[in-house]
């Protein structure tokens, strides 16, 4: 089994500093705990953009990246919505993409972080997973190229900066927009269906999905509570769902498709 990410993204700081000099402050720990998330799984690391530049950001749950500003906003959102939690089933964040939005998504094709031909095919399949769902109000408009600045989301290969492991990383929505930067890495030896799975999973985070097994990380062979801003989505199971595309870890046998509960969750979210 492979974690869906071993790197996460980092936050914009007033001055660039090596991540080795950054500490997870007591304020950050408190905000993570306010979210109900496990503060033992918070770290600073370098987040790399498609052009190769980087900045420090906070990594949560291994494959979720946030800035300190986003963490503060998430914490505030949870405080505002506590009275409404627990009214549904499967797991999402409080923040979602604006209803009815067509999300512009680009597969990056330039330089050392370009998607391979297999990865471009997998991205087409991943986007099709979302676009074929009738009744879901968000959709994706996929292009390929290098002009990602004005896109809502960019998907790229960050293997060059992740010498070990395989998976991906992304973040959660903010201000009605999906998380922009979706990375994959270390997937060259996996088939197209597995790459499709990882991309669909990370795009899922970007539109608001939490890990389906956030309460145990059972898919990773663990018994660890991630905690946090996890709202059940109605119509889906509360227990372990062994075929969900949003499990924390994946295997080499994934088919890359949503299961019925994933589809129900998306229909209830959007």
pLDDT exceeds 70 at position 4: no
Domains held by the chain: number: 1
Q: What is the pTM of this model?
A: 0.78
Report for 31-45, 181-195, 225-239: range of highest mean pLDDT = 181-195
Checking DSSP bridges between strand 139-145 and strand 102-108, what pairing results, if any?
parallel
Helix (H) or strand (E) holding 143: strand 139-145
> Rounded CA gap, 12 and 18, in Å?
12
Give pLDDT tens digits for 235-270.
555 555 778 888 878 889 999 999 888 898 888 888
Cα separation values, 67 from 43, 85, 146, 204, Å? 12, 24, 24, 19
- Percent of the chain at pLDDT above 90? 39
Query: What is the domain-level CATH number for residue 177?
Result: 3.40.390.10
Residue-averaged pLDDT of the chain: 79
What's the domain range around 159?
1-270
The pLDDT value recorded for residue 207 is 93
């Amino acid at each position: 089994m492979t974690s869906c990410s071993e790197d996460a993204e980092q936050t914009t700081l007033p001055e660039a500093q090596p991540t080795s000099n950054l500490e997870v402050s007591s304020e950050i720990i408190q905000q993570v705990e306010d979210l109900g998330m496990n503060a033992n799984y918070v770290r600073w690391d370098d987040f790399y953009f498609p052009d190769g530049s980087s900045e420090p950001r906070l990594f949560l749950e291994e494959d979720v990246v946030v800035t300190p500003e986003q963490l503060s906003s998430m914490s505030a959102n949870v405080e505002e919505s506590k009275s409404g939690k627990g009214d549904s089933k499967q797991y999402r964040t409080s923040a979602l993409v604006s209803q009815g939005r067509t999300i512009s998504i680009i597969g990056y094709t330039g330089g050392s972080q370009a998607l391979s031909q297999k990865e471009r095919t997998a991205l087409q399949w991943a986007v099709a997973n979302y676009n074929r769902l009738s009744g879901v109000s968000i959709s994706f408009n996929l292009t390929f190229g290098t002009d990602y600045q004005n896109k809502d989301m960019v998907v790229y290969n960050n293997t060059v900066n992740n010498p070990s492991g395989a998976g991906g990383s992304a973040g959660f929505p903010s201000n009605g927009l999906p998380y922009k930067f979706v990375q994959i890495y270390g997937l060259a030896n996996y088939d197209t269906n597995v790459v499709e799975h990882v991309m669909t999973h990370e795009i899922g985070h970007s539109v608001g999905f939490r890990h389906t097994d956030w309460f145990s990380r059972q898919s990773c062979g663990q018994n660890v509570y991630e905690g946090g801003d996890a709202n059940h989505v109605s119509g889906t199971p509360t227990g372990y769902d062994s075929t969900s595309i949003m499990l924390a870890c994946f295997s080499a046998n994934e088919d890359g498709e949503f299961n019925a509960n994933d589809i129900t969750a998306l229909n209830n979210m959007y």
